[in-house]
Chains A and B, each alone.
Chain A
Amino acid sequence: EIVMTQSPATLSLSPGERATLSCRASQSAGSHFLSWYQHKPGQAPRLLIYGASTRATGIPARFSGSGSGTDFTLTISSLQPEDFAVYYCHQDYNFSWTFGQGTKVEIK
């Protein structure tokens, strides 16, 4: 069973600052299977990034994904008020789907 470890658990930043979120997989399924989601209270999760680095439709360019193998990063270049939320990485490894435990991006 693959384990996805996200860090930090909480990121306290001000609007306009850069956010860097990390995700590490215990095994590598390849970057094709790594996705990132934004989740706000009372809403369904929203797909941001798939294939480790491709933005989904309508996702602003300030969101970018990178990485390969077992180490992946989600970067928000300049935080906007609507970006404060919880972010999850996710990987499909051999028909076992796993989410990281999440990183909360909060207003400092």
Chain B
Amino acid sequence: QLQLQESGPGLVKPSETLSLTCTVSGGSISRSSYYWGWIRQPPGKGLEWIGNIHYSGSTYYNPSLKSRVTISVDTSEKQFFLKLSSVTAADTAVYYCGIYCSGDTCFFPNAYDIWGQGTMVTVSS
């Protein structure tokens, strides 16, 4: 059973870059049907999709964040990463990593079936 764990600084200063890591355990990261994603929830608001990365390295970003977001993967370390640049208070949120399995070979096709517990990131000076 795959498990995910987010890690990274809980406090980031305005205008700086937010950097988070999602570590995968319990299975392979290199499966062609998997997209590894980041989702966030600002306080008092709903879930917002940030972006996904396929193990091949193909990336897909929320258009509203695309200019500031970079998602990358290190398959040898079984980790994937989020970088969000030029952060403001509006980027304060709980950040989740998740696995989206695409296609009929998935146990739960076309859904985020595995999530990390989330990590709170506050943007403040």
Contact = CB atoms under 8 A, between A and B. Distances in A.
A92 B100 contact: yes
Contacts of A97: 37, 49, 52, 60, 100
A90 to B, nearest CB: 7
Interface stretch (B10-18, B22-30, B69-77, B113-121): B113-121
Interface string B32-60: 00000101010000111100100000001
Nearest to A103: B46
A98 B112 contact: no
A44 B110 contact: no
Contacts of A57: 107-108
B111 A44 contact: no
A101 B63 contact: no
A83 B37 CA distance: 26
Contacts of A35: 110-112
Nearest to A9: B46
Interface in A71-108: 86, 88, 90, 92, 95-102
A102 B46 CA distance: 6
B63 A50 contact: no
B122 to A, nearest CB: 16
A99 B100 contact: no
A68 to B, nearest CB: 15
B19 interface: no
A69 interface: no
Contacts of A39: 41, 47
Nearest to B59: A95
A13 interface: no
A47 B113 contact: yes
The 7 closest A-B pairs by CB, nearest first: A44-B115, A50-B111, A35-B111, A102-B46, A99-B47, A97-B49, A101-B46
8 contacts: A1-B63, A32-B110, A44-B117, A50-B110, A51-B110, A86-B46, A90-B47, A90-B111
